[in-house]
């Protein structure tokens, strides 16, 4: 008797099992490889190389690089830049966030709106992924369903802002003012859902 994986096994049964497995493995290899095993290396390479007619029959695919769409630089008279003064601006549904299109095409970086004044602005459904709003004024802004994932909101003022269905995951909210803000199905920086005002 011997031990195999902690089990006591008769040595004859063990040897018989090894022989059966070896025989099954050989049969499987012969069935799977077919006559390829009997071919010389040169014949095997020749068999795998497509003929000219086979190569011509294959469709050709042109690979083109899609340029990254640029972020809008202005809305009406408001220029989207650091320290912009755009209270009441309507940016609903716009895309001004960071987007990774592909490893070949690259990353479009988000807008830099540090210190901007967007008091009472409409950002409903807007992509603000990674946007820098450090020290910005978004008090009383409509941020319903806005994507603020990874946004920089350090010392920003979101007092009275409506954050219903907004996504703040991974956002930097250190020293952010949220007094009177509306939270309903809001994804917070830690991934938790805030339903305080539903």
Read off the CATH number of the domain in which 193 is found: 2.160.20.80
Identify whether residues 39 and 107 lie together within a single domain: no
Determine the Cα–Cα distance for residues 194 and 114; give it in Å rounded to an integer.
26
pLDDT tens-place string over residues 134-182? 999 999 999 999 999 999 999 999 999 999 999 999 999 999 999 999 9
Identify whether residues 23 and 109 lie together within a single domain: no
Phi, psi of 108, rounded to the nearest 5 degrees? -95, 120
Most confident of 93-97, 103-107, 192-196: 192-196
In a domain, 149, yes or no: yes
Identify whether residues 42 and 126 lie together within a single domain: no
Instruction: Calculate what percentage of the chain has a pLDDT beyond 70.
Output: 63
Identify whether residues 32 and 127 lie together within a single domain: no
In a domain, 21, yes or no: yes
In a domain, 63, yes or no: no
Average pLDDT (90-99) is 84
Identify whether residues 85 and 43 lie together within a single domain: no
Q: What is the dihedral of CA 181, 185, 188, 191, to 10 degrees?
A: 180
Q: pTM for this structure?
A: 0.64
Residue 190, pLDDT above cutoff 70? yes
Identify whether residues 173 and 97 lie together within a single domain: yes
Among 195, 190, 189, smallest CA distance to 165 is for 195
Host domain of residue 21: 2-50
Average pLDDT (127-131) is 91
Model confidence at 1, pLDDT cuts 50, 70, 90, reads very low
Determine the Cα–Cα distance for residues 36 and 101; give it in Å rounded to an integer.
43
Identify whether residues 18 and 105 lie together within a single domain: no
CB atoms within 10 A of CB 170: 16
Identify whether residues 107 and 182 lie together within a single domain: yes
Identify whether residues 83 and 45 lie together within a single domain: no
Average pLDDT (17-22) is 62
Identify whether residues 45 and 85 lie together within a single domain: no
In a domain, 126, yes or no: yes
Instruction: Report the domain count for the chain.
Output: 2
Identify whether residues 85 and 33 lie together within a single domain: no
In a domain, 72, yes or no: no
């Amino acid at each position: 008797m011997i031990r195999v994986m902690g089990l006591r096994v008769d040595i004859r049964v063990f040897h018989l099992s090894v022989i059966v497995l070896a025989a099954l493995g050989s049969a499987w290899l012969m069935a799977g490889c077919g006559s390829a095993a009997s071919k010389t290396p040169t014949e095997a390479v020749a068999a795998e190389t497509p003929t000219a007619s086979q190569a011509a029959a294959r469709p050709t695919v042109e690979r083109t690089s899609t340029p990254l769409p640029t972020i809008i630089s202005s809305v009406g008279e408001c220029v989207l830049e650091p320290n912009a003064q755009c209270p009441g601006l309507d940016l609903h549904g716009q895309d001004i966030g960071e987007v990774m299109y592909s490893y070949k095409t690259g990353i479009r970086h988000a807008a830099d709106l540090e210190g901007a004044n967007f008091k009472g602005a409409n950002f409903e459904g807007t992509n603000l992924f990674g946007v820098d709003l450090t020290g910005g004024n978004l008090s009383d802004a409509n941020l319903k369903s806005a994507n603020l994932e990874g946004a920089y909101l350090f010392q920003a003022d979101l007092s009275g802002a409506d954050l219903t269905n907004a996504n703040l995951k991974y956002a930097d909210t250190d020293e952010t003012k949220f007094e009177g803000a509306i939270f309903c199905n809001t994804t917070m920086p830690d991934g938790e859902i805030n339903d305080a005002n539903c």
